[in-house]
């Protein structure tokens, strides 16, 4: 099979076939070519990883510097916030000294940076505990939540987007369009409120918010994350459906799909084996973007469901002017975005062999 | 052949059944957990809007700290009861010398901290020294400023020698900021609080909840603490608070966040609403050092342009009590001063004209983002427009920017904030303080309160202080926020009023 389709000059179908080998003979036929490709691939990968790591460090340094000084410029003194409206000036001075706020901002930055290089993110002004622990605690909520939301979003959007493309201008296409418009237009926190009203207060099936943790039982933790994940997934799925639909539509007009049909493949097979895999690049890009967005941007939904997630930690740190926490959370987000982009790039390599072999 | 196929099919079937069963059980687990709890209840989940920043009330000001720890984990030499009265606690009794400068406390015997450390006069001295010392970061350090020396003649006696009489000292010693802490554990109280109270700290999941459990070796054998476990859950969003209450995830929300949602609990078979009073005085402070607010007539005119019942209706759904000065009806010696400058638009206009502003003037109010402040500002804006005064509302992030700009910087015309501290009328005598109000007569009255320990005399003086403020209007005195309690009707023993911000759980229990 693969031999026939490798006639295509851009070699697209080869990518698909070697990614999901259909015939055991392919490997033999392309044996030599694959070795070359693999060798090249390794080289490309190494350069890519090295570039990314360098980029990561430069970006993190720039971001941390920027955040520190922006937070420093913001009006508001964490010591004054903690001491409230009755504290005398000498008490304030004592606390500032205790918190190290009496030192100039650049010096504080350098101290913090040295700490980070030694693996110590510092102590939260507000909670008085190490920041690293705070972030890890919050990730136990945020990561599963984002993952669940992306899974739901993908599970809704890809079948819907493909179906819409296939039934272009049909009733299903219209319905999918409506869904994605509504999904994009309606804010997630509002969907969350509606879900709470229906499933928690009216039906009593689900907890109305909060997070019991993973230790009492896995199912209780999942239950607590289900409604917020749905609330987050609705708008993400809305965007993803549109992206998926237009990508599939574009690919479906390509020659190779017509050829696939012409050689006698059913529409369904041509669609799922040839069109959809080739339409995945923009979809995967979007999924990567959405995942990073969900890690950082779920704060409103976290608020409605009262989940102790990373977004809420960042928000709280901002209101309390807890620079150390803010700083570390932003650093974490930046590292995550860069890593995510990197993973998406690698996913491209798997999906599109032209990127692997360096072919144009 | 035949039996084998049959067998394998059966195996497939049972696997599917097992899977269905497992999934079903997993899905039903949370519900069965809820049902199991319906047995005689000794656990309470209590909701709070704001998470405390640390759990040591002696090193940071936020009231949420005391609302978790005060009287539950930490106790003081004296305490303040649900009526606002000072009662003995770790000090059995005390004597005040006739000149008001020596306080002798007789301490309780057999009191231990949760980690086993014994409480005695040296611990009491340590606690007070820590609060008043040079490196103290106690938010109420001023409470202890009058103390000159502390003596401990024996383990059960504590003697405070004062520089000058301090009439409020005993009351202040009942505050969260004055609780007793142990030398060994004090340093870590911020994250793992250890006190002498009826509840022990168990855990704190940051951003989520604090868990406490009953202290089996509580010193006060006259108290039968019925709760075995208490969980404080922090829910910032008012809609989420309501949902958690209705879904039964939270048993009680003593300070529910949104008055406009209170009516949604009406007719609920399980939940009751309890409206009490607090010490939260909503006042629109004016910069008395700045033109035109330096003119008393202008301030009075603005006060007379305000119809307090309409403000309360607009801002807080009609729940709240109008005040005429910085004093609440549950404070001792309260007098109603709302009639000193009653709502009168014509008089207000005349007064403005007399002060030289016949066509009014314009200014900006720096209003925090909280709902009460925003809504009150909007109502005030409309009312002041009636007398030709144009008020621009500038939202100012609270606490960070507000503390920096208004409170410390004094860079504002008018602001609005709810003052949470009980009995804090003396803030108008403080210098510096953000109102920039300077009245020697008022300062003297406040100073005299401290010179006497006689309750009757103090109440008379507080009456005078209220009258002066009502007359001078250093701030627009608007209303006292109600305590909007929502809890399961079977939960008994929570305080309906709040003479001091707190959630005292000692007497809380579930009715059968």
Residue A13: its pLDDT value, please? 37
Q: In what order do the strands lie in the sheet with B157-162?
A: B91-96, B102-107, B157-162, B147-154
Chain B partners within 8 Å of A210 (Cβ): 208-209, 233, 235, 244, 249
CB of B269 within 8 Å of a chain A CB? The answer is no
B 137-176 → A contacts, CB under 8 A:
137-142
Inspect the interface and report whether the beta carbons of B419 and A85 lie closer than 8 Å.
yes
Cα angle B205, B208, B212 (rounded to 5 degrees) comes to 60
> How far apart (Å, rounded) are the C-alpha atoms in residues A42 and A55?
20
Contact A85 B421 (CB under 8 A): yes
> Where do we find the tokens 């943790």?
A213
Q: Are strands B86-88 and B78-80 parallel, antiparallel or unpaired?
A: antiparallel
**Chain A residues touching B59 at Cβ < 8 A:** 82
Facing A210 at nearest CB: one of B59, B135, B244: B244
Model confidence at A177, pLDDT cuts 50, 70, 90, reads very high
A127 to B401: CB separation less than 8 angstroms, yes or no: no
Residues with Cβ within 8 Å of B81's Cβ and at least 6 positions away in sequence, in order, are B87, B499
Query: Which of A132, A304, A306 should we substitute to test contact with B (largest number of B Cβ atoms within 10 Å)?
Result: A306
Q: Residue A34: its pLDDT value, please?
A: 56
Report yes or no: B455 and B85 within 8 Å, Cβ to Cβ: no
**ipTM, 2 decimals?**
0.78
What residues contact B349, with CB distance under 8 A and at least 6 apart?
Answer: B301, B387, B388
Phi, psi at A214, each rounded to 5°? -95, -15
- Contact present, B196 and B112 (Cβ < 8 Å): yes
CA distance B79 to B95: 16
| A37 pLDDT tier (thresholds 50, 70, 90) | low
Q: Are A240 and A157 a contacting pair, CB within 8 Å?
A: yes
Residues from chain A that touch B191, judged by Cβ atoms under 8 A, are 127-129
Whole-number pLDDT of residue B39: 59
A306 backbone φψ class: left, alpha, beta (φ>0; ψ -120 to 50): left
Q: Can you tell me whether residue B307 is helix, strand or coil? A: coil
Confidence of residue A357 (pLDDT cuts 50, 70, 90): low
* Residue A20: pLDDT over 80: no
Beta bridge partners of B286: B414
Q: Which of A86, A129, A193 sits opposite B61 (nearest CB)?
A: A86
Tens-level pLDDT at each residue, chain B (512 residues): 333 333 334 444 444 444 444 444 444 444 444 444 455 689 999 999 999 989 999 999 999 999 999 999 999 999 999 999 999 999 999 999 999 999 999 999 999 999 999 999 999 999 999 999 999 999 999 999 999 999 999 999 999 999 999 999 999 999 999 999 999 999 999 999 999 999 999 999 998 999 999 999 999 999 999 999 999 999 988 888 998 999 899 999 999 989 999 999 988 999 999 999 899 999 999 999 999 999 999 999 999 999 999 999 999 999 999 999 999 998 999 999 999 999 999 999 999 999 999 999 999 999 999 999 999 999 999 999 999 999 999 999 998 899 989 998 999 999 999 999 999 999 999 988 999 999 999 999 999 999 988 889 999 999 999 999 999 999 999 999 999 999 999 999 999 999 999 999 999 999 98
**Helix intervals (H) in A167-279:** 171-185, 188-195, 218-252, 255-262, 267-269, 276-278
Rounded to a whole number, what is the distance in Å from the CA of B26 to chain A's nearest CA? 6
Reference B423, options B283, B506, B310, B326; nearest CA is B326
CA–CA separation, A298 vs A310, rounded Å?
8
B246 touching A, CB under 8 A? yes
| Average pLDDT score over chain A | 82
Place of tokens 């300077």: B438
Of the residues A70, A76, A197, the best mutation for testing chain B's interface (the one with the most B CB atoms within 10 Å of its CB) is A76
Residue A173: helix, strand or coil by DSSP?
helix
Rg of chain A over all Cα atoms, to the nearest angstrom: 25
B229 lies within 8 A of chain A by CB:
no
Decide if B128 contacts B150 (C-beta within 8 A). yes
Asked whether the beta carbons of residue A75 and residue B405 sit closer than 8 angstroms, the reply is yes
Query: Which residue bears the tokens 């709040």?
Result: B498
* Pairing of the two strands B509-510 and B157-162: unpaired
On whether any CB of chain B is under 8 Å from the CB of A46, the answer is no
Q: How far is B420 from chain A (nearest CA, A)?
A: 10
Q: What's the pLDDT at A214?
A: 86
Q: What is the dihedral of CA B74, B75, B76, B82, to 10 degrees?
A: 120
Top mean-pLDDT range of A61-75, A192-206, B34-48, B370-384: B370-384
pLDDT in tens, B80-119: 999 999 999 999 999 999 999 999 999 999 999 999 999 9
Q: Chain A contact for B240, CB < 8 A?
A: yes
B53 touches chain A (CB under 8 A): yes
**A128 contacts B399? CB cut-off 8 A:** no
Res. A6: pLDDT tops 50? no
**A87 pLDDT exceeds 80?**
yes
Alpha carbon B178 to its chain's center: 15
Any A CB within 8 A of B247 CB: yes
Among the residue ranges A25-39, A126-140, A257-271, B43-57, the one predicted with the least confidence is: A25-39
Mean pLDDT of A284-309: 86
> Tokens 């410390």, residue?
B408
- Bridge partners (DSSP) of residue B273 are B486
**Interval A297-331: pLDDT, tens:** 788 898 889 899 988 898 888 888 888 898 888 88
Contact predicate A135/A330, CB 8 Å: no
Largest CA distance in chain A: 86
Among A100, A124, A128, A212, pick the best mutation site for testing chain B contact (most B Cβ within 10 A): A128
Query: What pLDDT, on a 0 to 100 scale, did the predictor assign at position A356?
Result: 62
Instruction: Report the alpha-carbon distance of residue B62 to residue B318 in Å, rounded.
Output: 27
Q: Please say if the pLDDT value at position A19 is more than 70.
A: no
Which pLDDT score is estimated for B193?
Answer: 97
Strands B157-162 vs B102-107: parallel, antiparallel or unpaired: antiparallel
pLDDT of amino acid A8: 34
Write the residue in A81, A126, A304 that is nearest to B239 by C-beta: A304
* DSSP code string of B160-192: EEESS--TTHHHHTTSGGG----TTTGGGTTTS
């Amino acid at each position: 099979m693969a031999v026939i389709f490798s006639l295509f000059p851009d070699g697209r179908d080869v990518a698909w076939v070697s990614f999901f080998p259909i015939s055991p003979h392919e490997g033999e036929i392309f044996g030599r070519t694959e070795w070359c490709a693999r060798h090249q691939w390794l080289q490309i990968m190494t350069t890519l990883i090295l570039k990314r790591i360098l980029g990561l460090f430069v970006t993190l340094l720039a971001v941390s510097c920027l955040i520190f000084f922006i937070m420093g410029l913001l009006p508001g003194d964490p010591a004054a916030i903690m001491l409230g409206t009755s504290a005398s000036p000498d008490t304030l001075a004592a606390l500032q000294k205790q918190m190290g706020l009496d030192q100039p901002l650049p010096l504080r930055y350098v101290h913090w940076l040295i700490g980070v290089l030694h693996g110590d993110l510092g102590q939260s002004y507000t909670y008085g505990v190490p920041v690293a622990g705070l972030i890890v605690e919050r990730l136990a909520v945020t990561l599963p939540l984002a993952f669940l939301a992306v899974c739901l979003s993908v599970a809704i959007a890809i079948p819907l987007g493909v179906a819409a493309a296939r039934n272009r201008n049909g009733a299903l296409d219209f319905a999918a369009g409506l869904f994605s418009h509504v999904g994009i237009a309606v804010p997630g926190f509002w969907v969350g409120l509606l879900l709470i009203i229906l499933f928690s207060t009216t039906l009593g099936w689900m907890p109305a918010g909060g997070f019991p943790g993973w230790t009492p039982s896995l199912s209780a933790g999942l239950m607590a994350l289900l409604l917020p994940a749905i609330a987050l997934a609705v708008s993400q799925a809305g965007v993803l459906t549109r992206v998926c639909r237009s990508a599939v539509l574009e690919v479906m007009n390509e020659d190779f799909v017509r050829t696939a049909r012409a050689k006698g493949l059913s529409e369904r097979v041509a669609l799922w084996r040839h069109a959809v895999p080739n339409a995945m690049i923009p979809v995967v890009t979007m999924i990567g973007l959405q995942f990073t967005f969900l890690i950082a941007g779920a704060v409103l939904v976290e608020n409605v469901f009262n989940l102790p997630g990373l977004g809420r930690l960042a928000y709280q740190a901002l209101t309390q002017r807890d620079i150390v926490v803010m700083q570390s959370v932003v650093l974490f987000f930046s590292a995550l975005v860069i890593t995510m982009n990197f993973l998406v790039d690698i996913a491209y390599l798997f999906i599109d062999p032209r990127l692997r072999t360096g072919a144009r | 052949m035949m039996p084998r196929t049959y067998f394998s099919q059966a195996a497939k079937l049972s696997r599917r059944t097992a899977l269905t069963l497992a999934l079903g059980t997993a899905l039903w687990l949370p519900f069965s957990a809820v049902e199991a709890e319906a047995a005689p209840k000794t656990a309470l989940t209590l909701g709070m809007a704001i998470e405390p920043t640390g759990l040591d009330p002696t090193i940071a000001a936020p009231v949420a700290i005391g609302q978790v720890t005060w009287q539950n984990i930490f106790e003081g030499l004296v305490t303040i009861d649900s009526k606002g009265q000072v009662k003995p606690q770790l000090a059995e009794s005390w004597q005040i010398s006739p000149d008001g400068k020596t306080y002798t406390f007789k301490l309780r015997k057999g009191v231990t901290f949760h980690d086993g450390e014994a409480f005695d006069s040296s611990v009491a001295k340590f606690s007070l020294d820590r609060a008043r010392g040079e490196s103290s970061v106690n938010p109420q350090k001023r409470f202890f400023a009058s103390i000159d020396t502390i003596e401990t003649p024996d383990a059960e006696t504590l003697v405070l020698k004062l520089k000058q009489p301090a009439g409020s000292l005993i009351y202040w010693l009942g505050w969260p900021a004055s609780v007793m802490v142990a030398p060994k554990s004090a340093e870590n109280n911020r994250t793992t609080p250890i006190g002498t109270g009826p509840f022990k700290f168990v855990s704190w999941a940051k951003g989520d909840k604090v868990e406490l459990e009953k202290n089996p070796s509580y010193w006060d054998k006259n108290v039968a603490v019925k709760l075995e476990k208490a969980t404080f859950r922090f829910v910032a969003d008012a809609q989420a608070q309501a949902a958690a209450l209705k879904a039964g995830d939270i048993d009680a929300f003593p300070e529910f966040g949104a008055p406009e949602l209170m009516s949604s609990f009406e007719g609920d078979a399980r939940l009751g609403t309890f409206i009490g009073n607090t010490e939260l005085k909503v006042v629109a402070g004016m910069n008395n050092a700045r033109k035109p607010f330096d003119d008393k007539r202008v301030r009075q005119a603005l006060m007379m342009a305000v119809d307090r019942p309409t403000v309360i209706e607009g801002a807080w759904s009609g729940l709240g009590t109008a005040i005429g000065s910085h004093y609440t009806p549950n404070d001792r010696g309260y007098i109603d001063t709302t009639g000193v400058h009653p709502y009168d638009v014509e008089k207000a206009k005349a007064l403005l004209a007399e002060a030289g502003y016949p066509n009014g003037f314009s200014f900006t109010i720096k209003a925090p983002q909280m709902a009460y402040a925003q809504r009150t500002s909007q109502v005030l804006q409309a009312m002041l427009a009636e007398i030709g005064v144009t008020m621009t509302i500038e939202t100012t992030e609270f606490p960070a920017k507000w503390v920096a700009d208004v409170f410390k910087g004094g860079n504002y015309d008018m602001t609005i904030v709810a003052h949470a501290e009980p009995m804090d009328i003396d803030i108008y005598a403080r210098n510096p303080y953000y109102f920039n109000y300077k009245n020697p007569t008022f300062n003297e009255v406040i100073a005299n309160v401290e010179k006497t320990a006689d309750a009757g005399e103090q109440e008379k003086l507080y009456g005078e202080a209220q009258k002066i403020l009502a007359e001078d209007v250093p701030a627009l005195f608007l209303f006292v926020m109600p305590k909007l309690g929502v809890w399961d009707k079977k939960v008994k023993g929570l305080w309906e009023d709040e003479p001091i911000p707190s959630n005292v759980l000692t007497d809380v229990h579930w009715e059968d």
